[in-house]
Structure 1
């Protein structure tokens, strides 16, 4: 068979996927009627429970943005912080996500913790933090991670691994000779949410869903249970 022919490889995929077990459990318990008035505390409780349950990279999240062509774009990042102002993440301002946020400062975050059957969806507007906060975040990264930032060529076409490795060695040398942040493009972003949904799986598919909504950051949160 031609290695480029995928016909044989896709036979039976639908049946195979249908046969995979989901929500293997034991699933976590959630009573939406007892949820607090502010979603930040509930989110942190769920995050801590996910860490305690052994969920790998529990602070990983999918960041979804609007691409230049108007279509969706998504990638996985790590949460930097969460407080009353919102959810924080960091990115290079000249990366695809940085350019997209500069044009359309709206995004969604999705957390998924399969061991507990939980997900949290956060959607709202995004603003860059002051330069000093972004610089502090960059300095807190490992030397190798800072060197990758210094390259400033994320998602561009790469001619060879040798080209990448040479550029990385040069960036590491610059950082070792002068530890001060060289990149002014590393940016800490804060997503101020308008909608936050807490989703708890149920083996019978009667999933529990609770959405917090508000139109202005100064407004109190409104809570609504949702149909599965």
Structure 2
């Protein structure tokens, strides 16, 4: 986690530093990513980075958490299904096309997350993936609790067991898609929408039939 001095910065300045750091790690990797270059491109002194973060590792791990939270905040808002009085699973599928094209607006963040999943950042991969899962778990657990209240998720299964099922299924499908595209020399956002839609439907059906209320 960053120091309090970072949290005291204006949101716009925090974002500038984060996006600059992600761009550096994305293009040069974790080992070759340079704190000096990040500071220069962010328009701040190199020493300022160390006022905000203990070291490069802490900065990198916070980049992972920050990127995950930004993507969930911008594209993980499924509150609209309540207004439409739809089952959450059906709403996610119906919204898939809009979400897909919206995600392309954050191409760098998506590729950064993808590269973490497929192990491009070497020794720090395991810890970085753990950070992503923690962010995702907090978000997913809230969806589960809300789903039980709304009656579209079974209430006879413990929240943590449902979370394990959702997380496990989601991670494996993401890993499959990321590795498949990487093997083809592409990233996940280069995939055709129809292919993405097919995998989305399979994922949603798995979740809906496995834990959805009958």
Do both proteins adopt the same fold according to a TM-score greater than 0.5, normalized to the shorter chain? Answer: no
Q: By percentage of residues, which structure has more helix?
A: 2
Give the TM-score normalised by the residue count of structure 1. Answer: 0.27
